[in-house]
Structure 1
């Protein structure tokens, strides 16, 4: 009887240990705060990466940060004081505003901007104090299908050279970003052209991506969904760039077309991974 009780206790202890190990601890959680259009603040352990978040009102088809949120980002108020890396995929104004980027860098000396020469030129032309933040910039303009890794304050960022969608934007440098933070790997890629050739050279399935932030139109066609599954192969997909006027309808439609996809539709919406 004593032996039986002992075995029961050991079994319970083992079960509790397994449950505890399978449940992610608070220290293992990476958070994403939505700031509009394709913009997200990804944070873990008191450090954060701001991806395509520093933009202003542009047009009715794009969700933009309201004045109080924009002010908090530009002045590096919490939680944006945690930002160590600012990433800009390309220079279109629904993803980037040069003055907003400059102001954040000025008010957050710990932040580093990584982006293309086009982005740096726009900041230099349109932010009057650009000389004071130049030391906080890392310019990298990859050729198509080329990549480079940066390590900023323990955060790894791999910048990928991707073509922008639509022939009329052939001249726009569009960057993809693989971000490694808090033991998770996240992928964001601006408005990359939706073709297999644009992604295949990077062999992204080998990266074992945890979370991919994907423009919603990729999920609307068979070809787009196939590309997402085969060329990105993330564990979790998050739809972004959803027009605000039809956000609820689009999110519902996406969940039918691509079961399991999460949609960012509301300013300050939060996700945990």
Structure 2
């Protein structure tokens, strides 16, 4: 009996720990927090320009919690930005984030990291060491591997002439997520991600209104496609008119849960 009990105890202890579900929490515009409850990544989570109220900004409470690294934004390893536009990045907020926390990192196209480095906040050497620019172009599009975290990589995909738009692939737990930033599907070369599988694709809502965007989403039937970048004044009726039955994120604090898989 003792031998049987010991064997059962061994089997229980030796069983692999179940993977955690992953929550994608919406912050504002294209800002998201992707977390398995222990570790997390922020993408476009701080922005400063609503463009005359067209797009939402994080609430003061959310902004303060992100910068300080307090619940629910504790355990974050990286803040990532897709591009320089003010509805997607906040250089001053990113500088405050780096100075407030000792272990976090920021990665973004050089247009953003230059603005962080040259902003009003003087960064310490420690903070500068945790700021990573991506020097990517249409000719050298990546993917770029984060030097500290193997679960983060970025690739350049076209948004607008003169603007470097980084699409981010992050893996949190066992869930693979692609954040498309402001990719223009009419001119985008998606081949940079041809060899990567995704569980979730986060895309600007206009993809669903362009044949090229729909074609890209349809080419990835394995991925759960979720729209965002929806104007702040949208209502449930106008969102449904634009997206039909497609899934979306809208409203600070709204969440989707992606079940874990082994």
The two structures have a TM-score, normalised by structure 2, of 0.84
Shift of 1:234: 4.7
Name the counterpart of 2:178: 187
* Superposed CA offset, 1:109-137 (max 9, x none): 22111112111110012142223410111
Does structure 2 retain, via aligned residues, the 8 Å contact 1:178–1:185? yes
Task: Specify whether residues 124 and 203 from structure 1 end up closer, same or farther in structure 2 by C-alpha distance, changes over 3 A only.
Answer: closer
CA distance in structure 2 between the partners assigned to 1:229 and 1:130 by the alignment: 44
Shift of 1:201: 2.3
Does structure 2 retain, via aligned residues, the 8 Å contact 1:91–1:118? yes
User: Greater helix share, 1 or 2?
Assistant: 1
Name the counterpart of 1:200: 190
Moved over 6 A (4+): none
Q: Which has the higher contact order (CA 8 A, sep 6+)?
A: 2
CA distance in structure 2 between the partners assigned to 1:213 and 1:200 by the alignment: 14
Task: Specify whether residues 121 and 203 from structure 1 end up closer, same or farther in structure 2 by C-alpha distance, changes over 3 A only.
Answer: closer
Name the counterpart of 1:147: 143
Does structure 2 retain, via aligned residues, the 8 Å contact 1:141–1:173? no
* Superposed CA offset, 1:191-242 (max 9, x none): 11213x62332243x4221001100011013332112222x55520111100
Please, which runs of 5 or more residues in structure 2 have no aligned partner? Answer: 1-16
2:209 is aligned, of 207, 220, 226, to 220
Does structure 2 retain, via aligned residues, the 8 Å contact 1:57–1:65? no
Shift of 1:151: 5.5
Q: CA RMSD in A?
A: 2.0
CA distance in structure 2 between the partners assigned to 1:171 and 1:247 by the alignment: 33
Please, which runs of 5 or more residues in structure 1 have no aligned partner? Answer: 1-24
Task: Specify whether residues 266 and 214 from structure 1 end up closer, same or farther in structure 2 by C-alpha distance, changes over 3 A only.
Answer: same
Name the counterpart of 1:40: 32
Other structure's SS at 2:118 match? helix
